[in-house]
Every structure is written in structure tokens, then in C-alpha cells.
């Protein structure tokens, strides 16, 4: 997969939020974190090495109220799935005995994020951008892959590029960033969105205490993917557009499933809406079929190889016997 094919799209995404980014905090945090960034802990080290021989589906878990309904269903996934959760969903999942494989954190917020990442675990991997507040990274006990998430001054950007590589930032949203990593770097083809509504029902978060509430006075009406009237915010609706574009434009195309009650503002040709339990069964079935086909193809290859070796050995054997016969006849003549 050629990562450079996303260059123009990444630039478009970044340009769209460039003017509104909290640049001073991003610059300050990046400078304070500079000693952490090394080539060996860059997210680019995971390129081409993530899945190995086995393909897996990626489950992107947000922190919307829908998570309360689907949290138990997350226990039904098996080795065919990988869970990446937003930092605001981490403690809620652990509280319900679900351990995500990865936590993605890109924000510079120094109020909530240090609380989100303050857990007594070292068996979960953090995907952190360069702008994450140092206090939050100090609290984290597990391994970290750093993502070059730019929007900082040119001189800082140049230092970052030398340390952790070229940028992969797609916008100010953790799930959008996780989508980039899963598809563009890891090569995942199957993505399932869980609890990723970008609209309000009663609350925005499954766990009110997990993060501060948005200022509701700034919300405005929108229609979700099911045709229901909801309330959202301009920033949240922007995330919706980014994800829609990503799912429509990523090449090679993937299989995207939305299990939320309204992740997207409209239907798109590449995003399928299913209940989470249905999505799990579909993926399991698809992977079983694929595994059988792979085994069948592998068996055919082995049999073909064995047959070829048989022919090769028999030819050598006949040739040697013929040589030996001629040698004996020659000895008899002499």
C-alpha cells in the first residue's frame, strides 16, 4: 500500500481546521514532550508488521451514551478483532472488565486527559500524538507509539519529522486519527464503529464523569443517519464529514460498519449500518470463510509443490540409473 496516495487528502483535512487549532498549547506541549520522541517509538514502526499472517477487524470505540448498551457485547469478540478506544472511553471499558488493545489520545487538553490516562495498567498500548499534555503521558504506565500530529510551528514540525517521521494527522478527533492509523498504516480493511455518535441525545458521554460536557448553548439541529432529529455542535459535525470522506475515499476500499444510532449525518455507499451483534457475527463468518479458502489454496499449493518434487526426484532417479547402467555395460565391454 502506497501511503503517499493520501498526501493531498491529509493536506485538505489539516487546512480545514488549521485556523481554529489551539496552536500555543500544541506548540508548548510538543516542545515539552520532545525528549520522548524517538524513531523506535514512532507509529511508522508498525507499518507492514501489524497483522502478520492473520487479518483482523478493528473496532473503534467512542464514549457516547450508546456505549452503555453495547459494552457487554464487546465481550463477545474473539481473536479476529482488535479494540481501539478513545481516551474518554478507557476507564468506562475497564470498569466493565473490557481491556482495549489500544487507546488513542490526540488532544492537548490538560484537564480531563490526565484523568483518563491515570490507570494502574501496563498491558494497554497508547497511541499518542505529539500535542498530548505531558502530565497525561507521565501518568501512563504502558507502551506508547507516538503519532506525528502537526499543526505546530515550522521549526518544531521539522524537529518532529526527524524524530518520528512524516505527519499522518487527519483532524482534531481521536476516532478519525485512529481510522487513519488502522487503514493507512496497518492496512485494515474492516472497521466497526461503536458508540461514536457525534450528536446529542440526553448526554454526549456514556460516563458523565469521564469528561467535561460540551457547552450545550452552542449546539444546533441535525439529522442523523437514521433520519432522526438530533442536536450536535459544529466541531462534531465536522468530524462526521471527515469520517464520511475517509470511508468513501480510502483506497483500496474497506468495509466500514456503523453500529451507532447516528454516527453519520447521511448514508454513504461504503458505510453499512448494523447492530453491533450482527456486525460481530458477519465479521466472524466472513473470516471463517476466508480462512477456509486460504487453507484450501494453501493445500493446493502444497500438493502442487509435492507433485512437482515427485516428478523432479523421479527424473533424477531415472537419469542416475541410466548413467549407472551405461557405466556397468562399459565395464563389461572392457
215 and 312 inside one domain: no
Count the neighbouring beta carbons within 10 Å of the beta carbon of residue 224.
21
Confidence of residue 51 (pLDDT cuts 50, 70, 90): low
> Number of H helices and number of E strands within the chain?
10, 10
* Angle (nearest 5°) at CA 56 between 68 and 163: 95
pLDDT in tens, 200-250: 766 778 887 666 666 665 677 777 767 777 778 777 777 887 788 778 777
Cα–Cα distance for residue pair 165/197, rounded to 1 Å: 32
pLDDT at 265 over 60: no
Averaged over 91-107, what is the pLDDT?
95
User: What stretches of 215-275 show up as alpha helix (H) in DSSP?
Assistant: 234-249
**Mean of pLDDT over the chain:** 78
- Quick one: 208 and 287 in the same domain? no
Report d(CA 123, CA 114) in Å as an integer.
18
236 and 307 housed in the same domain: no
Separation of alpha carbons 29 and 34, rounded Å = 9
Do 239 and 142 share a structural domain?
yes
Last residue of a domain, one of 233, 254, 274: 274
Grid coordinates in use for 177?
A: 486519527
Q: Please state, for a pLDDT cut of 70, what percent of the chain lies above it.
A: 71
β-bridge mates for residue 125, sequence order? 102
What is the 3-state composition of the chain as percent helix, strand, coil, each rounded to the nearest 5?
Answer: 50, 15, 35
CA Rg value for the chain: 26
Highest-confidence range of 93-107, 143-157, 229-243, 272-286, by mean pLDDT? 93-107
Quick one: 231 and 302 in the same domain? Answer: no
Tell me: do 257 and 292 sit in the same domain. Answer: no
Check residue 296 and give its pLDDT.
Answer: 61
265 with 294, same domain? no
Last residue of a domain, one of 256, 274, 292: 274
In angstroms, rounded to a whole number, what is the distance separating the alpha carbons of residues 203 and 23?
29
Query: 265 with 334, same domain?
Result: no
As a whole number of Å, the end-to-end CA separation of the chain is 68
Of 49-53, 58-62, 105-109, 256-260, the poorest mean pLDDT is in 49-53
Do 264 and 244 meet the contact criterion of CB atoms below 8 Å apart?
A: yes
Q: Which of 84-88, 152-156, 159-163, 324-328 has the lowest mean pLDDT?
A: 324-328
Q: For the chain, how many structural domains are there in total?
A: 2
CA triple 75-81-84, angle to 5 deg: 85
What pLDDT, on a 0 to 100 scale, did the predictor assign at position 16? 55
The per-residue pLDDT for 315 is 42
State whether 152 and 220 are in the same domain.
Answer: yes
CA distance 190 to 272: 11
**Final residue of a structural domain among 274, 299, 323:** 274
Are residue 246 and residue 306 in the same domain, yes or no?
no
Quote the domain boundaries for residue 326: 278-334
CA nearest neighbour of 199 among 256, 244, 258, 260: 260
For helices 23-33 and 154-164, angle between their N-to-C axes, nearest 10 degrees? 40
Q: Are residues 333 and 205 in the same domain?
A: no
- Beta sheet of 190-194, edge-to-edge order: 144-147, 125-129, 102-105, 81-86, 57-61, 190-194, 255-258, 271-273
Same domain, 76 and 120: yes
Peptide bond into 252 cis (omega under 30): yes
Nearest to 181 by CA among 136, 126, 226, 219: 126
pLDDT at site 192: 93
CA-to-CA dists, residue 196 to 101, 169, 275, 315, 332, angstroms: 18, 19, 13, 64, 89
Amino acid at each position: 500500500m502506497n501511503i503517499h496516495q493520501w498526501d493531498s487528502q491529509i493536506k485538505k483535512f489539516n487546512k480545514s481546521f488549521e485556523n481554529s487549532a489551539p496552536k500555543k498549547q500544541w506548540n508548548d506541549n510538543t516542545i515539552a514532550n520532545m525528549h520522548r520522541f524517538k524513531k523506535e517509538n514512532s507509529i511508522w514502526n508498525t507499518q507492514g508488521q501489524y497483522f502478520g499472517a492473520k487479518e483482523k477487524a478493528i473496532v473503534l470505540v467512542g464514549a457516547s451514551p450508546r456505549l452503555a448498551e453495547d459494552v457487554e457485547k464487546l465481550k463477545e469478540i474473539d481473536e479476529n478483532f482488535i479494540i481501539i478506544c478513545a481516551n474518554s472511553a478507557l476507564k468506562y471499558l475497564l470498569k466493565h472488565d473490557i481491556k482495549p488493545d489500544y487507546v488513542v489520545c490526540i488532544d492537548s487538553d490538560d484537564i480531563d486527559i490526565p484523568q483518563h490516562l491515570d490507570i494502574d495498567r501496563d498491558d494497554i498500548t497508547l497511541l499518542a500524538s505529539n500535542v498530548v499534555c505531558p502530565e497525561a503521558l507521565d501518568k501512563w504506565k504502558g507502551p506508547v507509539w507516538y503519532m506525528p500530529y502537526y499543526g505546530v510551528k515550522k521549526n518544531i514540525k521539522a524537529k518532529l519529522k526527524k524524530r518520528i517521521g512524516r505527519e499522518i494527522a487527519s483532524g482534531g478527533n481521536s476516532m478519525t486519527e485512529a481510522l487513519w492509523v488502522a487503514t493507512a498504516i496497518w492496512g485494515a480493511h474492516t472497521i466497526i464503529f461503536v458508540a461514536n455518535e457525534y450528536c446529542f441525545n440526553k448526554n454526549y458521554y456514556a460516563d458523565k464523569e469521564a469528561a467535561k460536557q460540551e457547552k450545550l448553548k452552542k449546539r444546533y439541529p441535525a439529522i442523523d443517519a437514521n433520519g432522526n432529529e438530533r442536536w450536535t455542535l459544529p466541531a462534531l459535525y465536522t468530524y462526521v464529514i471527515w469520517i464520511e470522506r475517509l470511508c468513501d475515499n480510502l483506497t483500496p476500499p474497506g468495509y466500514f460498519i456503523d453500529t451507532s444510532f447516528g454516527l453519520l449525518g447521511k448514508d454513504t455507499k461504503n458505510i453499512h449500518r448494523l447492530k453491533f451483534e450482527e456486525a460481530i457475527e458477519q465479521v466472524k463468518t466472513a473470516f471463517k470463510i476466508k480462512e477456509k479458502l486460504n487453507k484450501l489454496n494453501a493445500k493446493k499449493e502444497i500438493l502442487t509443490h509435492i507433485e512437482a518434487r515427485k516428478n523432479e526426484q523421479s527424473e533424477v532417479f531415472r537419469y542416475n540409473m541410466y548413467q549407472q547402467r551405461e557405466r556397468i555395460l562399459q565395464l563389461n565391454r572392457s
